[in-house]
Structure 1
Amino acid sequence: MINTGAIRAIYGHEMSRFFRTVWQSIASPVLSTVLYFVVFGAAIGGRIQSVEGIPYGAFIVPGLMMLTVLQQSVSNASFGIYFPKFSGTIYEYLVAPAGWIEVSVGFVGAAASKAILISMLILLTSFFFVGAQIAHPVWMLAFLFLTSFAFSLLGFIIGLWAKNFEQLQIVPMMVITPLVFLGGAFYSASMLPPVWETVAKLNPVLYLISGFRWSFFDMADVPVGLSLFAVGLMILVCMGIIRWIFLTGWRLRD
């Protein structure tokens, strides 16, 4: 039976830590969004008027939101579980009446909540620059939740794997961010030559961004079903890895 009290305790602790530095947590992504709109929306948008009939400034809104969701989900979840390992308090979680499901859902749920909150603030910020439309608001929220949850699981794994702060940051910096930029955050894969379009479709992040952009503009680089399959598969694989880590104690008792 799942210990919901343990989930609420872990979730509440992580969220309280976030709200203690709420202005710092919010100011940085909002400022970055403003800069992206200035650089990409104004400078590049002056040369690329529209993409498939959508004004370029509005076209990049889903990409900016996904960029923030992926970065915030991974960083919040990885730092959240790494600090108990660093301080030694991880053993309190291991001996508490809570299994791997409660611990992971508590940390991952908090990280996903933070990412969703910040991404919604970015959406509100975008309204000051462009008139972004949302064709499928329910699906937009669904993709937002599933993607933030999937990458929070990935960040949780990174936090369990990392032995130092350098390892904690190397995956988001060297893997996640490049995949987002190459995954169609600021362009459509259909704009690429056929060979590079095929290469781009090997990037799993493209499927997440494509599905999320479809919820805004009813257009996608890949079928929406594939986007849902990709994020669902990622969630299942990450949960399997987390379960294995807790059952074997790998990197938990080092």
Structure 2
Amino acid sequence: MPAEPVELDQGVAHNARVWNYWLGGRDNYPVDREVGDQVSSMFPSISQVALADRLFLGRAVRYLAGEAGIRQFLDIGTGLPTVENTHEVAQRVAPEARIVYVDNDPLVLAHARALLASAPEGVTDYIDADARDPDAIVRGAAETLDLTRPVAIMMLGILNFITDTREAQATVERLLEAVPSGSYLAITHPTLELGGEANAAAMRFWNENAKPAIVARSREAVTRFFDGLEIVEPGLVSCSRWRPEATPGGEPDTVAQFAAVARKP
């Protein structure tokens, strides 16, 4: 980790900090809370989306480390540490699991040491890299992960910040090329489907007042990220409906965020 202080821009809202605010965290600034509150007023279920996405991460990692037997995770678009981070969930199932986090937000970098608290049997590492530079991610990941063995690539709420769909597709393809058969890809992605129509105005506001810019995609567009892969049950669904845990209230509410997990054959 670099010893020099990390410069943080407190004048413009940034996704990692606003997301942290919606999840009830404290690693955010007044501008993040202001923009977060405005988005919430326009799209009241956004905090529910944020929570559902986080809960999906836990269920997906438990599935991958458990039933699927994955012992290596590449988590791209890490965000700020909260609770039940990827390494905590994976190493609870398999203490020997190795996790590499990837992000390029300065505040995430400042908090990266919290992400490196690994179980003694396993390893965690952090790469300061942009999701638009998959070659840099692969090079960095190879220092910690054995890319000849299966890897779970976690891309939760990150492809929506690569607004050019062809670039986003190429990024996914390059990452999948770098890992062997038996690897997995997990994605969550916002949509204006699944009841998210009200999010259109909120996204326009976001793109005018915060960074990075964001885009929603349709079921068809998100499905294309999984071309050539075997999507596991229940397929591409609202992230709240992906293998939900039994609760007295029955099925969880649908949120406007697609999710799926797929295996590279």
TM over 0.5: no
From the two aligned structures, give the one with the greater strand fraction: 2
Bigger RCO (CA 8 Å, 6+ sep)? 1
Write 1 or 2 for the structure with the bigger share of helix.
Answer: 1
Q: Which has the higher Rg, Structure 1 or Structure 2? A: 1
Using the size of structure 2 for normalisation, the TM-score is 0.33
